[in-house]
Structure 1
Amino acid sequence: MKRTEAFLLDLDGTLYRGTEVIPDAPDFLRWLIETDRKYLFVTNNSSRRPEQVAEHLRRFGIPAEAEHVLTPSMVAAQYIKEQGAGNRVYVIGEEGLRSALIEAGCEITDEQPDYVVQGIDRQFTYEKLMTASLRIQSGAIYLATNVDKALPTEKGLMPGAGSLLAAVATASGCQPIVMGKPEARMIDHALEMLGVPKERAIVVGDNLETDILAGVNAGVRTALVLSGFSKRDHVAETDGKPTIIVDSLSDLIRLVE
């Protein structure tokens, strides 16, 4: 653990919970900066641009800049560039997804797209579902930002991108290629950005089914922080076992110093 050079950090449940900062999160980020360690905020949130994610973190007193943010929208945009199979894209999603695709040179269109890219979309309609289904049936490649079925809010669990995925996959008869956690693709992309080998990195998160499983799938060490979604007694029931379990980010510092 003491050779850890790079930290891939989840957000909600790890650095903050809803509208409240987790008490030791700001100090943890300052420690990363002071000790010259590399890090990325790795989030499944496709609705926000990196600048918006960083601004949201700064409101909690957490030092953050856009260059330290990786979203599944960015991974999707890079995937399309690397495939070289066309750049015409039909989008079901919000600002963060659209801006990432446009910045990567994609053309947003509903006519003969090469890809259908779907994330969270709080203006989702039957017409969007119909268009996505027809385009996928006509040969467009279906990409999804993440499989998160629900989003925790003060009102309760709200439908997430995974709920829309279920609708599009059912209508089109096609399962998507998933960009975000728990797929290894996002972790691999993060390590490429940082220029750090897998054995020198660690994924830090509160969710066994997304954060920890993503690290396991990518062959990267993981730290489950018991500050959010998953609890210690959930570990026995999951496929992705964390490398270590810590009560807090402060405990993680003591293990790697």
Structure 2
Amino acid sequence: MTKAYKGYLIDLDGTIYLGKEPIPAGKRFVERLQAKDIPYLFVTNNTTKQPAVVRDRLENEFGIVVPESTIYTASLATVDYMNTCGKGNSVFVIGEAGLISAIEEAGYVVDEENPDYVVVGLDSQVTYEKLATATLAIQKGAHFIGTNPDKNIPTERGLVPGAGSLLALLETATRVKPVIMGKPEAVIMDAAVSKMGFARDEVVMVGDNYETDIKSGINNGIDSLLVLTGFTQKEDVANLSIAPTHIIDSLDEWEV
């Protein structure tokens, strides 16, 4: 018998869909939560799209209808963090529209020469010049923020480079470690649990990636549910340093 959780924190990439391919069990899982009026919050390290765009994509591409308020991205967590730092309002961003627009809408201005912050997320159009600009700014003292540590992204093509790969390059070039916003770090998880309005032992983090989703539970006192539909494979389970609270092959197996 599975534990009756009051709320669910749910990953997207590799859990609800795989790149452009739907994971049908993910859709059925969300619909079971909705049918029982169980609160849920999608907690995603993907910074390329704004929550409204994510909501539209879920509905138009995967037939999953959810309100925008159920989507919390690493971009939003980044802005929430920057708002508490008090270091200034200038920034250089490596990232895509979802990250850039969230930061600009919060009142930050772009500065390539002497920014207060360098924020790095996934950027599929990244260039050497962008990386060089970020490197020089960090060397001058800009606060180095990484939106998420994902080394890879599970897609229909396979595992492609993620934001963590760009962060590793910049860390090598600058010898400065970034402050990470996304899963498995506390910044995004503290905010997500607060938004749910439950105690940590009343919610569960659901995801496919042991290094981000599951460790975000393990590292922050939250139960975890590993589903083997994306990044972490069945053959990896025996070698995990700390076991997830639950492991399933498909979300169809999970009783809410």
Place the TM-score, normalised by the shorter chain, in its bin: over 0.9
In the alignment, the residues of structure 2 paired with residue 26 and residue 155 of structure 1 have an alpha-carbon distance, to the nearest angstrom, of 21
Structure 1 SS opposite 2:133: helix
What is the Cα deviation at residue 155 of structure 1?
Answer: 4.1
For the residues of structure 1 that align with 2:70 and 2:158, how far apart are their CA atoms?
A: 30
1:93·1:121 contact (CA, 8 Å) conserved in 2? yes
Partner of 1:148: 150
1:238 is aligned to 240
Residue of structure 2 in register with 1:37 after alignment: 38
- Partner SS, residue 42 of structure 2: strand
Amino acid of the residue matched to residue 11 of structure 2?
A: D
Instruction: Give the partner amino acid of 2:47.
Output: S
Cα distance in 2 for residues equivalent to 1:248 and 1:149: 24
Contact 1:184–1:215, Cα closer than 8 Å, also in 2:
no
- TM-score (normalised: structure 1): 0.92
Counterpart amino acid of 1:173?
Answer: R
Deviates more, 1:202-211 or 1:181-190: 181-190
**Is 1:126–2:128 an aligned residue pair?**
yes
Unaligned runs of 5+ in 2: none
Matched, 1:183 2:210: no
Q: How does 1:94-105 map to 2 (within 5 A)?
A: 94-105=96-107
Aligned residues of 1:90 and 1:113 also touching (Cα < 8 A): yes
Does the Cα contact within 8 Å between 2:77 and 2:191 map onto a contact in 1? yes
Distance 1:171 1:229 in 2: 28
CA distance in 2, matches of 1:83, 1:174: 18
Deviation sequence 1:47-73 (CA, Å, 0-9, x none): 111111111211211122321111111
Assess if the C-alpha contact under 8 Å between 2:208 and 2:230 holds in 1. Answer: yes
Q: 1:52 to 1:126 in 2, by over 3 A?
A: same
1:137 aligned residue (136, 139, 149): 139
**Is contact 1:185-1:218 (8 Å) kept?**
no
Task: Spell out, residue by residue over 1:207-230, the C-alpha distance to the aligned partner (whole angstroms, 9 max, x if none).
Answer: 111110111111100011122232
C-alpha distance 9-123 of structure 1, shift in aligned 2 (>3 A)? same
Please state how far the C-alpha of 1:192 moved relative to its aligned partner: 1.2
Q: Please state how far the C-alpha of 1:8 moved relative to its aligned partner.
A: 0.7
Matched with 1:6 is 7
**Equivalents in 2 of 1:46, 1:194: separation in Å?**
21
Measure the CA separation in 2 of the matches of 1:233 and 1:153. 19
Q: 1:30-179, aligned counterparts within 5 Å?
A: 30-58=31-59, 59-179=61-181
Q: Which runs of 5+ in 1 are unaligned?
A: none
Aligned residues: 254
Q: In 1, Cα distance between the equivalents of 2:237 and 2:56?
A: 33
Deviation at 1:12, TM superposition (A): 2.0
1:24 aligns with 2:22: no
**Is 1:209–1:240's contact at 8 Å kept on the other side of the alignment?**
no
Question: Structure 1, residues 209-254: CA drift from partner, whole Å, max 9, x if none?
Answer: 111011111110001112223234422322342101123223222x
Q: CA deviation at 1:119?
A: 0.6
> In structure 2, what is the Cα distance between the partners aligned to 1:180 and 1:20?
24
Letter matched to residue 250 of structure 1: D
The 3-state SS of whatever aligns with 1:110 is coil
Q: Which amino acid aligns with 2:8?
A: F
Name the % identity: 48
Sort the Cα spacing of 1:80 and 1:180 in 2 relative to 1 into closer, same or farther, 3 A: same
- Give 1:129 deviation, angstroms: 1.5
Once superposed, what is the RMSD of the aligned Cα atoms?
Answer: 1.7
Tell me how far 1:156 sits from its aligned partner.
4.1
Separation in 2, partners of 1:84, 1:204 = 33
CA contact (8 A) 1:213 1:241 kept: no
Q: Say if 2:20 and 2:155, in contact at 8 Å, map to a contact too.
A: no
- The one-letter amino acid paired with 2:13 is D
